[in-house]
Amino acid sequence: MCGRLSQYHGIHDFVDALSMPGALANEVGDQPLAHFNVAPSTNVAVFTPGRARWLRWGWRPHWAHDRAPPINARVEKVAHSPFFRAIWGHRLLVPVDGWFEWVDEGEAKKQPYYIHRRDGLPAFCAGIGQWDVADDDGFVIVTADSVGGMVDIHDRRPVVFAPDLARAWLNPACDKAEAEQMLLNLGEPSEAFAWYRVDKAVGNVRNQGAALLQQLN
């Protein structure tokens, strides 16, 4: 996963798609997010247990301040990695409308593709992070190997859960061993997604707007 996503619906749209029972504290606001080109190290709307909040994309433990904060964690290692030990039990969801990958098609600049769910629902990406700890707050998205046709776009992809599994991932009653098995075995298959070429303007993080998501012929 190259590290760019879109999050343009409002938080209430994401909550409706998630069918989360009970009220969530909303620190994000009620208006459409309108973030069409979201880059790492910026604030992203996420769901933590009982709350919708802004959280910085990228995290590192306090003892690793000599390196840039990773934005992703590999599903094969995250549950047992010393690097992520402090946040492995702190699960969250990153609701996105889609994400971008860049493919080398022999041109001077790589061709960006936009990836989204075929059914039009948001993609609920599994994440872990830290919040309410001042300067050390942040999160990473858990990624897995791509399979099927998605391999041609990128060799890694977010672990995305269907709504019922996304709710289970967010439930504090789900223990760490169960959470690991969910990551390894229950993510949505590549067949659940579609992708298409988009304008190279998305490569500049200053560019925003729905035009970035329009399919190129």
Q: 71-93, pLDDT tens digit by residue?
A: 999 999 999 999 999 999 999 99
Of the listed 2, 125, 174, 191, which one is catalytic? Answer: 2
pLDDT in tens, 115-140: 999 999 999 999 999 999 877 899 99
Of the listed 27, 101, 105, 174, which one is catalytic? Answer: 101
pTM for the model = 0.95
Q: CB–CB of 161/169 below 8 Å?
A: yes
Check residue 97 and give its pLDDT: 98
Topology of 5-213 in CATH? hypothetical protein yedk fold (3.90.1680)
Whether 125 is catalytic is: no
pLDDT interval class at 21 (50, 70, 90): confident
| E runs forming strands in the chain | 5-7, 25-26, 35-38, 43-48, 51-56, 72-74, 91-96, 98-103, 111-117, 123-130, 138-145, 156-158, 160-161, 193-197
**Residue that the structure tokens 């390196």 belong to:** 67
Count the Cβ atoms, other than its own, within 10 Å of residue 199: 16
Whether 2 is catalytic is: yes
Can you tell me the mean pLDDT for 153-161?
86
Check residue 134 and give its pLDDT: 75
